[in-house]
């Protein structure tokens, strides 16, 4: 979320009643982001570079340089823009986290942005010889001292209150408005004090434009405040913002350490450092905001994908129900027509009609059983499990499919190993799996012309505590390239197929902690179900 978006969200009062700790996105802002070791290294390198620059310039800081009248207006205009943007971005961060500390820090940047305006306007030689608004000799100097006192104080206050768990309640706008009004009022009072109170304020300069003892001590006082803010920050550092604020305070210390007479080398370098203090947090805020925006966009994409997956699941459930129920319904319709035909003869064949009607009743029960099986698929796996005899299962499936096998002129070969141990499972679901495999075998052999159609059903005990049920057909077999994908949902080679049968079968067998394997061999396809015997399978995660 961009900062302005964060502010906009709250504008309509949508977030108004949210308390700070639970505020949505409260864990996203810079105030909560922990610095990475790379950021620590970069910050340390920046401080080292600052220290080297200050140490190099300090011995020759008093070297006089040419006087550029436009230097201070240009510099202050830049600081005004960067600090104003930083303040706005920080207000944005505040609207996310609602921490009072951030509000104070935003106020600190706003204070700097505002105080540089009178500082530039009253600077002697910038806009007029003695400075605008009737500025006195030391107006600019006092404004500079207020500026470099106010900002580190705001940082120290931020550090003190940043961990407060009780943030601003209700709408953020009154809090932001109060902060802006207070800051503007403070700056106006200080400007008035520095201009109107110039004759009454303690002297900073001697008549020979040297410094009085107070003039010499004032920057040192600001420097002490900065050092205090730095140590305070260090002891309570936690976030990326804290880390870079420490760099800002270091730059401020460097600036104050180099402050000597105007238009000397130290003066120019120190003012450039004040530009650095103003841009560091802005750059970090922009970089982190861009990073957060990217992460947000990615999360949004993931959510969309998740929603599509859910729709896909819904589609899969509906398709799987229709896939499973179609078969008994087709049989019911077919047997119904048969019964009608037998009853419609001149001499109705009651026996055959009764048999067809019995079939209809059985298929009706089976359809209802299918719904139960599907519902059980979405329940904890163990609930409906009981000991199942694989041979009984195979025989029942062959009974159900008998009519179809005969209709498709398929010879059935059955080899059931006697005395098989029982497997632990859901009888209805296992029956559906075997029915699906047999139905697939029939459909596969349907396309074969002029070749004997054989369905071979085998059960056997596996060497290591398992039972295997094999379904072999003399169909075209499976393309080796497709072997890996036939168990995926919606993979089909049939014009009318849905590609769900094998996907559901594998899901059922895996819920039984078994295996469903497919292989293609000379003259057909082999599917093998391997089920564990003995103890019930462990409850798989639902």
Chain contacts with ligand ADP (rule: CB under 6 A) = 440-441, 444, 473, 475, 478, 486, 491-494, 497-503, 525
> Min. distance of Cβ 337 from ligand ADP in angstroms?
25
> Min. distance of Cβ 497 from ligand ADP in angstroms?
3
Name which of 7 and 437 has its Cβ closer to ligand ADP. 437
Name which of 310 and 494 has its Cβ closer to ligand ADP. 494
CA distance 383 to 378: 11
Burial readout 262-291 (b: 16 or more C-beta within 10 A, e: otherwise): bebbbbbbbbebbbbbbbbbbebbeebbee
- Judge residue 59's burial from the number of C-beta atoms within 10 Å of its C-beta, 0-12 exposed, 13-18 middle, 19 or more buried: exposed
Name which of 46 and 500 has its Cβ closer to ligand ADP. 500
Residues 71 and 272 sit within 8 Å (Cβ to Cβ): no
> Min. distance of Cβ 502 from ligand ADP in angstroms?
3
Q: 43 Cβ partners below 8 Å, 6+ apart?
A: 35, 243, 244, 246, 247
CA distance 161 to 486: 61
Name which of 172 and 526 has its Cβ closer to ligand ADP. 526
> Min. distance of Cβ 491 from ligand ADP in angstroms?
6
CA distance 293 to 380: 40
Name which of 87 and 502 has its Cβ closer to ligand ADP. 502
Name which of 11 and 484 has its Cβ closer to ligand ADP. 484
Q: What are phi and psi of 459, to 5 degrees?
A: -125, 145
Give residue 97's Cα distance to chain centre.
Answer: 18
Terminus-to-terminus CA distance in the chain, angstroms? 35
Name which of 276 and 516 has its Cβ closer to ligand ADP. 516
> Min. distance of Cβ 501 from ligand ADP in angstroms?
3
> Min. distance of Cβ 492 from ligand ADP in angstroms?
3
Residue that has been written with the tokens 């462990």 in this structure = 538
> Min. distance of Cβ 503 from ligand ADP in angstroms?
6
CA distance 359 to 371: 19
């Amino acid at each position: 979320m961009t900062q302005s978006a964060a502010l906009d969200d709250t504008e309509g009062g949508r977030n108004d009643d949210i308390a700070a700790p639970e505020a949505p996105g409260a864990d996203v802002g810079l105030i909560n982001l922990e610095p990475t070791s790379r950021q620590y290294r970069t910050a340390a390198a920046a401080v080292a570079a600052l220290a080297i620059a200050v140490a190099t310039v300090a011995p020759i800081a008093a070297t006089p340089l040419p006087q550029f009248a436009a230097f201070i207006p240009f510099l202050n205009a830049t600081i005004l823009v960067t600090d104003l943007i930083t303040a706005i971005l920080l207000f944005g961060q505040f609207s996310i986290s609602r921490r009072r500390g951030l509000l104070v820090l935003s106020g600190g940047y706003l204070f700097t942005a505002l105080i540089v305006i009178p500082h530039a306007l009253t600077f002697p030689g910038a806009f007029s010889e003695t400075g605008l608004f009737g500025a006195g000799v030391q107006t600019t100097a006092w404004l500079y001292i207020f500026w470099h006192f106010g900002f580190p104080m705001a940082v120290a206050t931020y550090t003190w209150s940043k961990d407060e768990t009780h943030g601003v309640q209700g709408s953020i706008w009154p809090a932001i408005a109060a902060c802006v009004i207070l800051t503007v009022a403070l700056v106006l009072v200080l400007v008035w004090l520095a201009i109107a109170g110039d004759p009454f304020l303690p002297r900073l300069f001697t008549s020979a434009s040297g410094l009085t003892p107070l003039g010499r001590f004032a920057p040192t006082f600001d420097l002490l405040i900065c050092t205090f803010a730095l140590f305070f920050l260090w002891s309570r550092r936690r976030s990326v913002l804290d880390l870079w604020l420490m760099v800002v305070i270091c730059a401020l210390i460097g600036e104050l350490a180099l402050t000597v007479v105007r238009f000397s080398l130290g003066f120019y370098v120190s003012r450039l450092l004040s530009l650095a203090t103003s841009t560091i947090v802005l750059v970090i805020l922009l970089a982190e905001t861009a990073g957060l925006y990217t992460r947000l966009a990615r999360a949004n994409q993931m959510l969309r994908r998740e929603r599509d997956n859910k729709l896909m699941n819904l589609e899969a459930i509906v398709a799987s129900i229709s896939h499973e129920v179609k078969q008994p319904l087709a049989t019911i319709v077919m047997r119904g027509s048969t019964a009608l035909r037998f009853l419609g003869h001149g001499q109705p064949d009651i026996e055959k009609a009764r048999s067809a009607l019995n079939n209809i009743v059985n298929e009706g029960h089976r359809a209802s059983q299918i719904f139960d099986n599907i519902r059980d698929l979405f329940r904890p796996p163990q609930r409906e499990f009981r000991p199942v005899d694989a041979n009984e299962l195979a025989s029942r499936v062959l009974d159900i499919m008998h009519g179809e096998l005969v209709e498709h002129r398929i010879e059935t070969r059955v080899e059931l190993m006697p005395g098989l141990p029982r497997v632990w499972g859901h009888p209805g679901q296992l029956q559906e799996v075997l029915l699906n495999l047999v139905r697939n075998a029939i459909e596969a052999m349907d396309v074969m012309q002029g070749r004997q159609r054989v369905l071979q059903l085998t059960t056997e005990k596996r060497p290591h505590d398992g039972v295997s049920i094999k379904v072999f057909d003399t169909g075209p077999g499976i393309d080796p390239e497709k072997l890996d994908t036939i168990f995926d949902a919606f993979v089909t080679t049939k014009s009318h197929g849905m590609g769900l049968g094998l996907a559901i079968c594998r899901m059922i067998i895996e819920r039984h902690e078994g295996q469903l394997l497919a292989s293609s061999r000379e003259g057909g396809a082999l599917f093998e179900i391997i089920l564990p015997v003995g103890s019930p399978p462990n409850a798989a995660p639902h």
